[in-house]
Structure 1
Amino acid sequence: MVYFIGKKEKEKEKEKEKEKEKEKEKEKEKEKEKEKEKEKEKEKEKEKEKEKEKEKPPVQGHNACTGVGSMNLKKYLVRALHRLQKGPGYTYKELLVWYCDNTNTHGPKRIIKEGPKKKLIWFFLTLLFASLVFWQWGILINTYLSYNVTSSLSIGFKTMKFPAVTVCNANPFKYSEVKPLLKELDRLIEAALERILQPTPGNSSENLSPPLDLELWNQIPLVLIDEHDKDNPIILDIFETNQTAVVNETAMVNVTSVSDDTAGGSQRSADNETVGNRTTVENQTTALPAPGNTTSEEKKYKLAVKLCSHQGSDNCTYRNFSSAAQAVTEWYILQSTSILSKVPLHERIRMGYQAEDMILACLYGAEPCNYKNFTQIYHPDHGNCYIFNWGMDEEALNSSNPGAEFGLKLILDISQQDYIPYLSSAAGARLMLHQQKSFPFLKDQGIYAMAGTETSIGVLVDELERMGYPYSDCTMNGSDVPVKNLYSQYNTSYSIQACLRSCFQNHMVEICGCGHYMFPLPEGVTYCNNEDNPGWAYCYSSLRSSIKQRQICIDSCKETCNDTQYKMTISMADWPSEASEDWIFHILSYERDMSTNVTLDRNGIIKLNIYFQEYNYRTISESAATTIVWLLSSLGGQFGFWMGGSVLCLIEFGEIIIDSLWITVINVIGWCKGLKQRRARARYPDAPPTVSELVEAHTNLGFQHEAAGAVPGAEALPPEPGTPPPNYDSLRVRPLDALGPDSDADAE
């Protein structure tokens, strides 16, 4: 009986478990039904969206197509990402074997198909020739990147523009006009020359009437350097009455040899310190006749210009010259520059030679011309200059034929009798041929025409065409040059001469605080003079001698990419001849002065003939010595010669490189992931739950928490019972003989 009761209870428990399982299955089915309902709802929403998209206008339909296209693109990108993550599917060894077996390059196939010895031989041969190929490629690429050029000469024939012709007087100002300004300067130089050439004891400025203005002299004085002792030269003041005292007081200087050129070209490059008082000497070795009865063999003197940072300073420079004439001219130029810099521009123009006085006759081809056909500019070196055919306000003239009869003919009056004696030692006209709208730099490219001669100038034209960057550092119009072009105020084109002078003037304004008289000024700057800038000559000389400044300007300025050069063939003859000078001078004097008297002579008359010598022009053009076509053909030739390869072989090799990098990236990513997992295991030693465990925990209600607030507080719960659990041994089946006699009684 007890057995059956226990059995029934077990069956009931099993039934309860089955019911629980059925309930769980029902709950799962309900969840599945809910998920299906959710999916159906999503599908309905998608259908509604599709219907809405269909209802939209055609323009928006394009957006729908775009959306579909974007979805397809996303799928494609996802597949491509999976393909990239998968890699080529080879190892390094398999990849190399496949390449050697399939490449069209000679050599690699023999490495994998021959015996061990031949494999080794072919491996070294392939490696050797591959190295030769790369070496040759390096040479070819380096040659290409050097951007060398080749020059070619071509000769053409066409109607050419007649060059612009600039003519100036060698003397910048009429002496009769400028003499009042230079009166004291002339008296000083005359007294100095008298002191140098006829030195007698007691000859000083105090004996002159009226006395000299030594304040002007002391600003930039002339001195004698006694080089009797070459190691210890002595400086002698020309206007010092007691030379012995001067010898005792003057410092001994070191003498070195330097050159003396203009600011635009090569410049001095020596700065020598003295033994005693930081005095420097710039020397152009010469011997000046010694004072008194002393011969030049016994004692040598040199005339020098003394330049100091400020009056009374010991920081001085002595510029020596090979002749006293050069020293006097240089000193006079410095002093007159200081004086004339304070004169307004319109006054300087008035003191120069006017066009109607200088240009007596003009003829271009068969057409007469006059001074009104010339454009006037003021040139600091030569005063008033006149440019024919400049092309600023009118079109440039063309020349149809070569020869003197088709060129420009001029007769000039230079008025040599009105020259400044100490400023202009050369007599004649200064002229230059240049391009239209370019500034004439006569000091660099001009030529002299001698008075009393007929000068014929035959012109040949050379056109230069340079290649720009990276083949050369030339410029088209100067817009990429970092130097501000001060000559742009003349509305002229860029030239390297303008750039160099502008660079020098900008440096002088920055360092010396004023501008030099020979160059244009930046805005808000004044010219240097002895009164406002006492040490300007010293600063100018130091700056002109600076190698650093010169190199900065050379590095900053660029040549023009296109340039026209005029080659001149010059011939001269006396003009007029003795037989014809009488009537020619009478006519020219009458035309200029309306006088029957002869007011001209051969010392002031110049005739010029300027014409094209040939009608051929030469073009010198640059072209690239190495092009990309040359580079590719040379690279292919070397590769084909040494390894029998082609461009497709290079593509194959590139494919192998890409696959190798691909495998390397995948291996690196895998190694990084493994390292990350190892670190995670070290941090979390327990294994993470499986998917089935997570699902069971989600579906088992025993694991679910009750709703918030459903569970009463710990204080409200009843205490746990202390009764021990029941003993179910009485329900177990035991044999009858195991029961005692009292068992039945108890049972009853």
Structure 2
Amino acid sequence: MLTLFVLQLYFKQFVSSDFESFYNPLHGNCYVYNSGWNDSKQIVTATREGPKNGLEMVVNIDQMDYVKQAGSLAGIRVVILDQNQMPFPEDEGVSVGPGQLTYISLQRHEINRLGSPYGSCTEQLFDPFTSAYSAFYNVQYRAKGCEYTCYQKKIMHECGCIDFSYLNITALMENINADNMSLCQSGNFEQDECRYAIKMKFMNKSLTCDCPERCNDVIFDSFSSYLDWPMKSEQAKIAQMYNLTQDEVVTDNLLRVVIYFSDFHVHELDEGPAYELVQYLSDLCGVTGLWFGFAMMTFFEYFELLSDENNTLIMQFKSDVASAHVAID
């Protein structure tokens, strides 16, 4: 249950229904607070900066319930995104271990990219066939979700199975018999070889996927700092506060996280055209005018040269005629 996992949360008011959940193949059950996935739930906002005005929670990871085959690490993964976004904890976020108080300070960045004809970003926010996560979780488009959807489609089309590490998208697939589609088997040589070839293309970014970035995006830069928590003299008190038994060592199971804005300044990154049409036409007219001016100057210079030559010939002719008259007399 979520209330056994998140023991305490300080931010406005803790209500377990404020969390949305999803399953991640690598990290298991994941919970999203203040997600914006459900339109009927109000989004809470921070009104002041600093650790005292941020979100603070105490989490019990309960190591005794860990599945040994799932991994050798204990702790949680914290991913911070804007509302209506799908988190991918295997690729992003901050790792937090038990027995620690972790401070995560945030700085908001807004990115405004240019679309056609300057760039290839997309303004499409919901496209379940490009990013299947939009269909399953009512989240907005992300390039990473599009890439994982594309990867799964390639696996299903070329290998004839579903990669269990990614979202099962059989319900969205066209021109494919979903009833005969099953999870890829690790002992199947043909499937393993096919998956490996596609995975290598995916890792090398040579897999043909049309997944542009969003034209308008929000990201958060984060800075983390850590302290041991709780101190030894407080461990018995903390164990009593959260109804932990003697077998449950506080420093092995509890962790505390404080997430806050370092300031409310928003850093904007705006793309602009390096060479606009107006500037191009202006420069074109300028260059055209320059060359036309040179051409006209050349024309008049040539005309003047012909005129001078003509005058010279006329004067020479008159001089010869005058000399001839003198000789006759």
TM-score by length of 1: 0.36
Unaligned runs of 5+ in 2: 172-177, 297-329
| One of 461, 465, 477 as aligned partner of 2:112 | 465
Note if 1:484 corresponds to 2:148. Answer: no
1:643 aligns with 2:292: yes
Change (3 A) 1:389 1:538: same
Is 1:582 the equivalent of 2:236? yes
Alignment partner of 1:564 out of 218, 238, 253: 218
| Aligned equivalent of 2:208 | 553
Contact 1:500 1:557 survives alignment (8 Å):
yes
The answer to whether 1:415 aligns with 2:80 is no
CA shift at 1:541, angstroms? 1.8
Q: Counterparts of 1:474 and 1:480 in 2: how far apart (Å)?
A: 14
Cα distance change of structure 1 residues 582 and 633 upon mapping to structure 2, 3 Å threshold: same
Q: Aligned partners of 2:214 and 2:114: how far apart in 1? A: 10
Residue pair 1:455, 1:571 contacting (<8 A) in 2 also: yes
Cα gap change, 1:531 to 1:378, in 2 (>3 Å): closer
Following superposition of structure 1 onto structure 2, how do residues 33-112 of structure 1 map, counting pairs within 5 Å?
none
Pairwise CA distance, 1:642: 3.8
1:624 corresponds in structure 2 to 273
1:372 corresponds to: 17
Q: CA deviation at 1:637?
A: 2.3
- Alpha-carbon offset, residue 643 of structure 1: 3.4
1:568 partner amino acid: S
Partners of 1:400 and 1:531 lie apart in 2 by 50
Equivalent residue in structure 1 for 2:257, among 608, 627, 633: 608
Shift of 1:581: 1.4
Structure 1 CA distance, aligned partners of 2:281 and 2:20?
A: 55
Instruction: Output the amino acid matched with 1:361.
Output: Q
- Map of 2:197 onto structure 1: 542
Q: Matches of 2:190 and 2:250 in 1, distance apart?
A: 44
1:355 aligns with 2:10: no
1:282 is matched with which residue?
none
Distance in 1 of aligned mates of 2:99 and 2:62: 12
What corresponds to 2:46 in structure 1?
399
How many angstroms apart in 2 are the aligned matches of 1:411 and 1:356?
11
Give, in angstroms, the shift of residue 548 of structure 1.
Answer: 11
Distance 1:435 1:429 in 2: 20
Offset of residue 411 of structure 1 = 0.3
Partner of 2:313: none
Q: Distance in 2 between matches of 1:625 and 1:531?
A: 50
Cα distance change of structure 1 residues 478 and 402 upon mapping to structure 2, 3 Å threshold: closer
Q: CA deviation at 1:496?
A: 0.8
Q: What is the 5 A alignment of 1:6-45?
A: none
Confirm or deny that 1:493 pairs with 2:140: yes
1:451 CA drift (Å): 1.1
How far, CA to CA, are the matches of 1:426 and 1:643 in structure 2? Answer: 74
- Call closer, same or farther: CA 1:416–1:494 in 2, change over 3 Å: same
Equivalent residue, structure 1, for 2:85: 438
**How far does residue 499 in structure 1 lie from its aligned partner after superposition?**
0.9
CA 629–363 in structure 1, closer or farther in 2 if over 3 Å, else same = same
The letter for the 2-side match of 1:623 is: G
C-alpha distance in 2, partners of 1:421/1:456?
29
SS in 2 for 1:623: coil
Cα pair 1:461 1:617 within 8 Å, conserved: yes
Shift in alpha-carbon separation, 1:527–1:549, aligned structure 2, 3 A: farther
CA shift for structure 1 position 625: 1.8
Does the 8 Å contact 1:460/1:612 carry over to 2? yes
Q: Distance in 2 between matches of 1:584 and 1:505?
A: 45
Give yes or no for contact 1:476–1:560 (8 Å, CA) kept in 2: yes
Q: 1:363 to 1:446 in 2, by over 3 A?
A: same
Give 1:469 deviation, angstroms: 0.6
Cα 1:453–1:623 change in 2 (3 A) is same
Give the conservation status (yes or no) of the 8 Å contact 2:201–2:207: no
Residue aligned with 2:266, SS: strand
Distance 2:71 2:186 in 1: 25
- Give the residue type in structure 2 aligned to 1:448: S
Q: Indicate the larger mover: 483-492 or 513-522.
A: 483-492
Give a deviation string over 1:657-691, Cα, whole Å, max 9, x none: xxxxxxxxxxxxxxxxxxxxxxxxxxxxxxxxxxx
Q: Using the alignment, how far apart are the partners of 1:519 and 1:507 within structure 2? A: 12
Counterpart in 2 of 1:530?
Answer: 185
CA offsets 1:461-518 (integer angstroms, 9 cap, x no match): 010000001111111116789x632212211111111111111100100111111112
Q: 1:507 aligns with which of 154, 159, 184?
A: 154
Distance 1:629 1:535 in 2: 57
CA contact (8 A) 1:589 1:600 kept: no
- Supply the AA of the counterpart residue of 1:552: L
C-alpha distance after superposition, 1:234-265 (max 9, x if no partner)? xxxxxxxxxxxxxxxxxxxxxxxxxxxxxxxx
| Counterpart residue identity of residue 392, structure 1 | W
Instruction: Give the number of the structure with larger relative contact order, counting CA–CA contacts within 8 Å between residues 6 or more apart.
Output: 2
CA distance, structure 1, for counterparts of residue 97 and residue 212 of structure 2: 35
Separation in structure 2 between the aligned mates of residue 438 and residue 600 of structure 1, nearest angstrom? 35
Unaligned runs of 5+ in 1: 1-353, 650-748
Give the partner amino acid of 2:287.
Q
- CA contact under 8 A between 2:130 and 2:150: conserved in structure 1? yes
Aligned equivalents of 1:529 and 1:641: distance in 2? 68
2:37–2:137: 8 Å Cα contact kept in structure 1?
no
Q: Using the TM superposition, give the Cα deviation of residue 532 of structure 1 relative to its aligned residue in structure 2, in angstroms.
A: 10
Give 1:572 deviation, angstroms. Answer: 0.3
Q: How far apart, in 2, do the equivalents of 1:637 and 1:531 lie?
A: 67
State the partner residue of 2:248: 599
For residues 553 and 356 of structure 1, do their structure 2 counterparts lie closer, same or farther at Cα, with a shift above 3 Å needed?
farther
Higher helix content, 1 or 2: 1
Q: Partner of 1:461: helix, strand, or coil?
A: strand
* 3-state DSSP of counterpart to 1:602: helix
